Amino acid sequence: MWKDIFIKRGCLKLNLTKVYENLRNEISLKLSEKRFHHSLNVEIEAIELSKLYGSDEEKTKVAAIAHDLAKAFSDDELIKMAQKYSIKIDEIQYNFPQLLHGSVAAHICSDRFGISDLDILNAITYHTTGRKNMSLLDKIIYLADVIETGRYFPGVEEIRKIALKDIDNALILACNSTLIYLTKENYLIHPLTIEFRNSLLLKGGNIYEK
């Protein structure tokens, strides 16, 4: 677990600029050109959101560039990597191993790139499903992933517009859109996705009142 590694290493301060360069180099080699381009777009979008909402820009850059680091792994490879890192795999993740690409990426960031910052590792881990009570960095990476300039799906323009004014309402719309897609395709819905949406609604986000 990267939490144990964090405790072992202590708060070793890493040069995040160097870490960013190493990560960017790795993903340019390991990911397809299209996925590399997506990662760069997510970084651009995340920095814009960071300036608007006030997250740490260096951490934002690192989390954004790394979020899909494990995206090129096959389902079998993701399961093997998750086992190697002792990541607990639930029934839904076994059924749909792509749900593990965030957790696996976070563990690679810790293991191979020396990242111990929990804000960064959590934002990478939860970028696909979300989770309840997301941190600002979690929210920025989740949203940037959905609205980066290369994304085209019905409603994306509306989410981009609302993202400039109210990040929580933009996230509710983004999550709704994912849920509509998942139910249409009859995919399993991970409990974290539901908890994420519920926690935003319980905190008072209501897109229909705006």
User: Does 193 sit near ligand DGI (CB under 6 A)?
Assistant: yes
Report d(CA 201, CA 88) in Å as an integer.
28
Q: Considering the complex, state which of residue 55 and residue 93 has its C-beta at the smaller distance from ligand DGI.
A: 93
Report d(CA 12, CA 126) in Å as an integer.
24
Which residues 28-47 are close enough to bind ligand DGI by CB under 6 A? 38
Q: Which long-range contacts (CB under 8 A, 24 or more apart) does 72-77 make?
A: 72/30, 72/31, 72/32, 72/35, 73/101, 73/104
Going from the C-alpha of 21 to that of each of 13, 16, 33, 160, 174, the distances in angstroms are 16, 9, 17, 28, 30
Q: Considering the complex, state which of residue 124 and residue 162 has its C-beta at the smaller distance from Fe ion.
A: 124
Letters for 130-169 (x = contact with ligand DGI by CB under 6 A, - = none) are ---------------x------------------------
Q: What is the DSSP letter of 98?
A: G
User: Does 96 sit near ligand DGI (CB under 6 A)?
Assistant: yes
Helix axes 136-147, 156-163, angle to 10 degrees: 140
Q: Where are the beta strands (DSSP E) in the chain?
A: none
Letters for 168-187 (x = contact with ligand DGI by CB under 6 A, - = none) are ----------x---x----x
User: Does 122 sit near ligand DGI (CB under 6 A)?
Assistant: no
Letters for 52-91 (x = contact with ligand DGI by CB under 6 A, - = none) are ----------------x--x--------------------
Residues found near ligand DGI in the complex (CB under 6 A): 38, 68, 71, 96, 99, 127-129, 145, 178, 182, 187-190, 193
